[in-house]
Amino acid sequence: MKQTIVGKLYAITLFVVGVQLTLTASAAPPRVFSDGQRPADRRLQPLKDLDGYFPFQAPASKEEWAKRTERVRRQVLVANGLWPMPTKTPLHAKIHGRIQRDTYTIEKVYFESFPGFYVTGSLYRPIGKGKRYPGILSPHGHWRDGRFYDAGLNQVNQDFVRGAERFMESGRSPLQARCIQLARMGCVVFHYDMIGYADSQQISYDVAHRFAKQRPEMNSETAWGLFSPQAEGRLQSVMGLQTWNSIRATDFLESLPDVDSSRLAVTGASGGGTQSMILAAVEPRISVSVPAVMVSTSMQGGCTCENCCLMRVGTGNVEFAALFAPKPQMVTAANDWTKEMATKGFPELSQLYALLGAKDQVKLHSRIEYGHNYNYVSRAAMYSWLNRHFKLGHPEPIIETEIVRSTTDEMTVWNDAHPQPEGGPDFERQLLQSWHKDTQAQLTKLQPRDAESFKKYQAVVGAGIDSILGRSLPNEADLEYDQTEKFD
C-alpha cells in the first residue's frame, strides 16, 4: 500500500513538472501591453522635486477650465489639510499700542487662528473717520527677521546704485515702506508674521523653515509633531497652518469697521508671494492679488513652509495663480527663478484671462535687471495696480515718499500687559491634536444616514479621496479593450 501511494505521488510530480516545462517552452506569460511598452502611469515616471519644470497649459474652453478649477482648488485644500475646512473659532483679536504718524497710524495685533495659536502683526490705518477703506493683507516672506527686517546701510547703498531704492529708511525696511505707502493711499494694511518669525514663536523658525531631521519624541500614535509620519499622514503641515492663518487674517481684516470687505487684496514677495498666491486661489473674498517673484514654471518654493504632500502633483504655481482668474492679478518677475515668466507661464496665463473675457485684468511686471526683490520699482507697479482696481483716485505715477521706520521695540506685540504665549514641543503636539480632533469631529458628522446625507458625504469624503489618489474610477465608456493573447 505504501509503495502504491509513493508511486502515485511520483507520477503526479512528473506531470506537474512536465506541464510547467511545456508552458515555459511554448508561450511567454500573457501581457497587457506589447513587449517594451509601459503604462502611462505617473508613478513610473522619474521623481519630481521643486526644481523641476511645471508648465501650465491654457484650457480650450470655459467648460474645461471650470472642471479643472474645481479639481485643482480642491487638491490645494486637501494637501494643506483644509478639507474639510477647520472650524472657525472666535478670533479674540486684541489691538493695542497705537502709534500716530503724519497721515496714518500703526497698531499691534494678535488673534487666535486655532484656540491658543496666535497670529501676530502690525496694522496700518489711514487717519480719518467715517470712511471704509480697502483692506490689504501683506505677508512678509523670507526676509531676515520678517516684519522686523532691517536691510542695513550697506545693502541700502548698493540698492541706491542699482536704482532699486530711493530713500534710506524705506530701503532699510522695504516691508514697512509698502505698508506705509498703502496706508497713505487710503488702505488698511495688515502685515502679519509667518510662523517662526518676529512675534510668532510658538513654533520655532528652525522647526517651521529649517526642518531636516526626524524627532523620535514627536512621533507617537497619540502625540506627534510637524513633519512626522503621523502628521504627514493626516496632511498636517506648516504650509497648511500658514494658509489657515492667512484665511483667518482675512476674517480679522474683514471684521474691522473701517474696512470695505468688497475691496480686499493680498500682496507679498518670495515666501510671501507663495502665501499670496495660495490665499488668492482658495479664498473667494480676495478681489485683487499681487504675488511677487514667486509665480513661475521653474522653482516652486524653496522652504518647507511652501511645500506639502500632494500639492503639486500634476500642477504648479502658474496654475495656482490661474485659479484667481478672471479677477485682477499682477505678478512680478526678477533675475531669479521667475526670469523666464515672460515666455514660460505668463503667455498661457494671459490666454486663460482672454478666454474668460478679462485679458486686461492680468499683468506681468518683469524687471530682470534686479535680483529677487520687492523693491521700490516693483512696489510702484503694485501701487498703480491697486490704485486702478480699487479706484483710489491718485494721479499717476504714484511716487513713494520717505518713511519713519519703526523699531523692533515699537512693533513687537508682546509686553507685560500682553504676555507672550507659551510654545515649544508640548504646544506643537497639542495644536496638531486639536486640529486632528476637529477634522475627525467634522468627518463623523458627515457619516451618511440617508440619501441626502450620503450626497454630502460623497462631496467631502469622496472628493477628498479622489484628490489623495489623484484619480477616480473610470467610467465604463473609458475602458479600453485590446486582445493581446489567445489560448485554446
pLDDT digit string, tens, across residues 368-412: 999 999 999 999 999 999 999 999 999 999 999 999 999 999 999
Q: Does residue 151 carry a pLDDT above 70?
A: yes
84 cis-preceded (ω within 30 degrees of 0): yes
What's residue 36's pLDDT?
74
pLDDT-wise least confident of 302-311, 447-456, 476-485: 476-485
Cα separation, 426 vs 9, whole angstroms: 66
pLDDT band at 19 (very low <50, low <70, confident <90, very high): very low
Give tens-digit pLDDT for 80-97: 999 999 999 999 999 999
The pLDDT of residue 28: 62
Of the candidates 324, 323, 317, 326, the one whose C-alpha atom is nearest the C-alpha of residue 361 is 326
Local confidence band at 180 (pLDDT 50, 70, 90 cut-offs): very high
What is the Cα 331 distance to its own chain's centre? 16
Helix axes 271-282, 62-79, angle to 10 degrees: 120
What is the bridge-based pairing of β-strands 117-126 and 188-192? antiparallel
Above 90 in pLDDT, residue 474? no
pLDDT at 380: 98
**301 conformational bin, left if phi > 0, alpha if psi -120 to 50, beta if neither:** left
Interval 259-277 mean pLDDT: 98
The secondary structure element, H or E, covering residue 106 is strand 104-114
> For residues 370 and 334, is the Cβ–Cβ distance under 8 A?
yes
Sign of CA dihedral 243, 195, 439, 311: positive
Report whether pLDDT(15) > 80: no
Q: What is the pLDDT of residue 488?
A: 66
Reported confidence tier of residue 32, pLDDT bands at 50, 70, 90: confident
Strands 104-114 vs 288-292: parallel, antiparallel or unpaired: unpaired
- The predicted-structure confidence for 183-232, as pLDDT tens digits, reads as follows 999 999 999 999 999 999 999 999 999 999 999 999 999 999 999 999 99
Q: How far is CA 239 from the centre of its chain?
A: 6
Task: State residue 120 phi and psi, 5-degree precision.
Answer: -125, 155
Q: What is the mean pLDDT of residues 353-380?
A: 98
pLDDT tier for residue 10 given thresholds of 50, 70 and 90: low
Which of 144, 145, 140 is CA-nearest to residue 177? 140
Single out the residue of 312, 361, 368 nearest to residue 335, CA to CA.
368
pLDDT tens-digit readout, 153-176: 999 999 999 999 999 999 999 999
Residue 426 has pLDDT above 60, yes or no: yes
Percent of the residues in the chain that have a pLDDT greater than 90, as a whole number: 85
Task: Flag whether pLDDT at 461 surpasses 90.
Answer: yes
Q: How confident is the model at residue 242 (pLDDT cuts 50, 70, 90)?
A: very high
User: 15-19, 33-37, 313-317, 438-442 — which is least confidently predicted?
Assistant: 15-19
Q: Give CA–CA dist 459/84, Å, rounded.
A: 10
Q: Evaluate whether residue 450 is within a structural domain.
A: no
Helix (H) or strand (E) holding 125: strand 117-126
Q: Give, in order, the Cα–Cα distances in Å from 21 to each of 8, 27, 28, 102, 208.
A: 20, 10, 12, 94, 60
3-state secondary structure of 128: coil
Picking from 392, 391, 389, 363, the residue whose alpha carbon sits closest to that of residue 378 is: 363
Q: Rounded to whole angstroms, what are the CA distances from 234 to 73, 226, 263, 402, 436? A: 19, 10, 35, 47, 8
Query: In this structure, is residue 194 part of a structural domain?
Result: yes
Domain with residue 130: its CATH number is 3.40.50.1820
Give the least confident one: 36-40, 147-151, 215-219, 313-317. 36-40
Per-residue pLDDT, 37: 82
More confident residue, 20 or 391: 391
Between the CA of residue 334 and those of 186, 194, 254, 269, 371, what are the distances in Å?
Answer: 28, 23, 32, 11, 6
d(CA 242, CA 305): 8
Max CA-CA distance within the chain? 112
Rounded to an integer, the average pLDDT of 117-133 is: 95
Q: In what order do the strands lie in the sheet with 133-137?
A: 94-100, 104-114, 117-126, 188-192, 133-137, 259-269, 288-292, 329-333, 362-366
Structural domain includes residue 349: yes
- Model confidence at 20, pLDDT cuts 50, 70, 90, reads low
Q: For residue range 282-299, list pLDDT tens digits in order.
A: 999 999 999 999 999 999
Q: Is residue 363 part of a domain?
A: yes
The answer to whether residue 16 scores a pLDDT higher than 60 is: no
- How far does CA 111 lie from the centroid of its chain? 21
Domain residues for 155? 69-436
Does residue 447 fall inside a structural domain? no
| Contact predicate 93/87, CB 8 Å | no
124 within domain boundaries: yes
Q: Is 209 helix (H, G, I), strand (E, B) or coil?
A: helix
Position 2 scores a pLDDT of 47
**What is the helix (H) or strand (E) element at residue 110, kind and residue range?**
strand 104-114
What is the spatial distance between Cα 270 and Cα 301, in angstroms, rounded to a whole number? 8
Give domain status of residue 4, yes or no: no
Residue 85 CB coordination number (10 Å): 15
Q: Bigger pLDDT: 218 or 32?
A: 218
How many structural domains does the chain have?
Answer: 1
Residue 357 placed within a domain: yes
